[in-house]
């Protein structure tokens, strides 16, 4: 495989120019048995063919069969030729529950046309929020260079956060994708709502020196048309397990309509496992929004140390991953999601987390605007042919 120093340097220079927040690019690894090398002048790629584990949590957010391309290219023409070589492979067979995917920097817009001309569509967006970004509309139009801390060698970091307030799943990275680029195909939803409440202190994972701060005394805030919105936002507790699992399941149902998720036979059980992990507070941190004793919103975050697969896509460190964000359908548009995310951001910022990442479905008309208002902007786009499920 042609990975000349000139190609790698040109590829890195392109990434740095379009988005300095992206992590440094790594050379493609030696091919495994399920990989195929592709080369052409000005580009190189590695195609990995995978079959999903039907019992894994991630199976709700990936196709049963996937052909995934990790690529290096110095421009749109070599990139287009590489896509054509990929299309000629036997493993390239998009269709129902079979998908071809490639993840590329969202701001590298010159690569958009070659993908569209070959039938690819944007599936999911990996978005990032740097600590301190306010929840305003500014993020949606911000094209400035993000300032970020350089990654510390001692720290590491299906959300498909959809605008019902989100969905997400953990996903392994593709073969040698740049900086661990996640080729995840999932979707999240987002929505809004308002309130504050007492939140318990939770320790971060051992060895990471990250601790989520507990806010002051509980309160309920928010108004809709001048009326009080009685919403309390707090940390998830054991008594929330069943209701939280149902909310998370609703998120998967929502994302399924965009072709980036599917209700599998194992989905309910795997979500129950995720909720259990969240309640223990080590591998995941969780917050809920509650109205009159009824759960109406859920946000789950993977803290540094458990989100390395996503954290290595950005230079900022430490980083966390928002793996689930959902508001009950009947509560959307009332401020619940906004209040929930505002509380989560306050705790993550206080804990010293420099960046928070999440996924949302590109076709979801609610997710992009919501997460933009929350201070997120696109980092990487997963393009695909075919669907999940």
Cα 367 to Cα 167, 261, 271, 340, 345, distances in angstroms: 10, 15, 21, 15, 17
| Residue with the larger pLDDT of the pair 46 and 136 | 46
Chain position carrying tokens 């993550």: 348
- Distance between CA atoms of residues 154 and 290, nearest Å: 37
Percent of the chain predicted with pLDDT > 90: 70
Predicted pLDDT at 134: 86
> Six-digit token pair at 175?
């073969």
The dihedral built from the CA positions of residue 368, 374, 380 and 382, taken in this order, carries a sign that is negative
Whether 106 shows a pLDDT value over 60: the answer reads yes
Cβ 61 vs Cβ 266: under 8 Å: no
- State the pLDDT at residue 213: 42
| pLDDT higher than threshold 90 for residue 161 | no
- Which of these, 308, 337, 357, lies nearest to 146 by C-alpha position? 357
**If you average pLDDT over residues 197-217, what whole number do you get?**
33
Q: How far is CA 330 from CA 225, 255, 257, 335, in A?
A: 17, 17, 18, 12
Residue 158 pLDDT greater than 60, yes or no: no
- Is 25 a residue whose pLDDT tops 50? yes
- Residue range 181-189: mean pLDDT, rounded: 36
Q: Read off the pLDDT of each residue in 94-106 and give the average, rounded to a whole number.
A: 92
Residue 299 has pLDDT above 70, yes or no: yes
Of the pLDDT bands very low, low, confident and very high (cuts 50, 70, 90), residue 178 is low
Asked whether residue 325 carries a pLDDT value surpassing 90, the answer given is yes
pLDDT value for 282 = 81
pLDDT at 156 over 60: no
Q: Which structure tokens are listed for 166? A: 């989100």
What pLDDT, on the 0 to 100 scale, is given for residue 230?
84
Beta strand 227-228 with 211-212: parallel, antiparallel or unpaired?
Answer: unpaired
Residue 351 to residue 201: CA distance in whole angstroms: 11
Q: Give mean pLDDT, residues 345-351.
A: 97
What is residue 295's predicted lDDT score, i.e. its pLDDT? 97
- Give the length of the chain: 389
Task: Please tell me the distance from the alpha carbon of residue 59 to that of residue 273, in angstroms, as a whole number.
Answer: 14
Mean pLDDT of 97-105: 96
Question: Rounded distance, CA 137 to CA 173, Å?
Answer: 31
Q: Which pLDDT does position 368 carry in this prediction?
A: 92
pLDDT value at residue 152: 32
Mean predicted confidence (pLDDT) in 138-167:
36
From the list 40, 35, 345, the residue with the least C-alpha distance to 215 is 345
Cα 5 to Cα 2: distance, rounded to the nearest angstrom? 9
Is pLDDT of 126 > 80? yes
How many helices and strands, by DSSP H and E, does the chain display?
8, 15
Rg (CA), the chain: 20
pLDDT at 1: 65
Please state the rounded mean pLDDT for residues 210-237.
57
Contacts of 333 (CB under 8 A, 6+ apart): 191, 192
Q: What is the token pair recorded at 304?
A: 């540094």
What mean pLDDT comes out for the span 313-337?
95
pLDDT tens per residue, range 30-83? 999 999 999 999 999 999 999 999 999 999 999 999 999 999 999 999 999 999
Lowest pLDDT segment from 34-43, 207-216, 241-250, 301-310:
207-216
The upper half-sphere exposure of residue 123, i.e. CA atoms within 13 Å in the direction of its Cβ, equals 29
pLDDT of residue 66: 96
Label residue 323 by pLDDT band (50, 70, 90): very high
Q: With bands split at pLDDT 50, 70 and 90, how would you rate the model's confidence at 198?
A: very low
> 110 or 221: whose pLDDT is higher?
110
**Residue 219 CB coordination number (10 Å):** 12
Kindly report the CA angle at 24 between 22 and 30, in degrees rounded to 5? Answer: 125
Q: What value does the mean pLDDT of the chain take?
A: 81
pTM metric for this prediction: 0.81
């Amino acid at each position: 495989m042609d990975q000349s120093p000139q190609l790698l340097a040109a590829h890195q220079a392109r990434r740095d120019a379009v988005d300095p927040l992206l992590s440094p690019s790594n050379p493609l690894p030696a091919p495994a048995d399920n990989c195929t090398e592709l080369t052409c002048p000005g580009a190189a790629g590695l195609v990995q063919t995978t079959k999903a584990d039907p019992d894994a949590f991630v199976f709700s957010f990936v196709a049963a069969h996937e052909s995934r391309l990790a690529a290096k290219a110095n421009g749109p023409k070599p990139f287009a030729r590489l896509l054509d070589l990929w299309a000629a492979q036997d493993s390239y067979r998009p269709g129902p529950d079979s998908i071809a995917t490639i993840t590329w920097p969202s701001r590298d817009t010159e690569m958009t046309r070659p993908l569209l001309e070959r039938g690819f569509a944007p599936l999911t967006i990996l978005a990032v929020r740097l600590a301190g970004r306010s929840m305003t509309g500014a993020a949606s139009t911000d094209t400035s260079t993000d300032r970020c801390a350089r990654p510390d060698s001692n720290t590491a970091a299906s959300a498909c956060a959809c605008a019902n307030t989100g969905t997400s799943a953990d996903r392994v990275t593709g073969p040698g994708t740049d900086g661990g680029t996640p080729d995840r195909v999932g979707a999240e939803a987002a929505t809004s709502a308002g309130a504050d409440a007492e939140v318990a202190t939770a320790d971060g994972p051992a060895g990471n020196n990250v601790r989520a701060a507990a806010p002051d005394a509980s309160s309920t805030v928010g108004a809709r048309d001048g009326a009080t919105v009685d919403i309390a936002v707090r940390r998830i507790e054991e008594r929330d397990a069943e209701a939280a699992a149902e909310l998370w399941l609703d998120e998967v149902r929502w994302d399924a309509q965009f072709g980036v998720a599917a209700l599998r036979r194992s989905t309910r059980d795997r979500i129950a496992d995720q909720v259990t992990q969240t309640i223990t507070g080590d591998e995941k941190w969780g917050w809920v929004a509650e109205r009159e004793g009824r759960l109406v919103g859920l946000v789950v975050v993977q803290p540094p140390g458990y989100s390395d697969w996503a954290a290595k896509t950005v230079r900022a460190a430490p980083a966390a991953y928002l793996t689930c964000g959902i508001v009950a359908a009947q509560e959307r548009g009332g401020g619940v999601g906004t209040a929930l995310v505002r509380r989560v951001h306050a705790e993550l910022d206080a804990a010293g987390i420099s960046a928070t990442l999440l996924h949302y479905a590109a076709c979801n008309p609610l997710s992009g605007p919501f997460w933009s208002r929350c201070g997120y902007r696109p980092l990487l786009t997963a393009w695909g042919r075919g669907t999940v499920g």
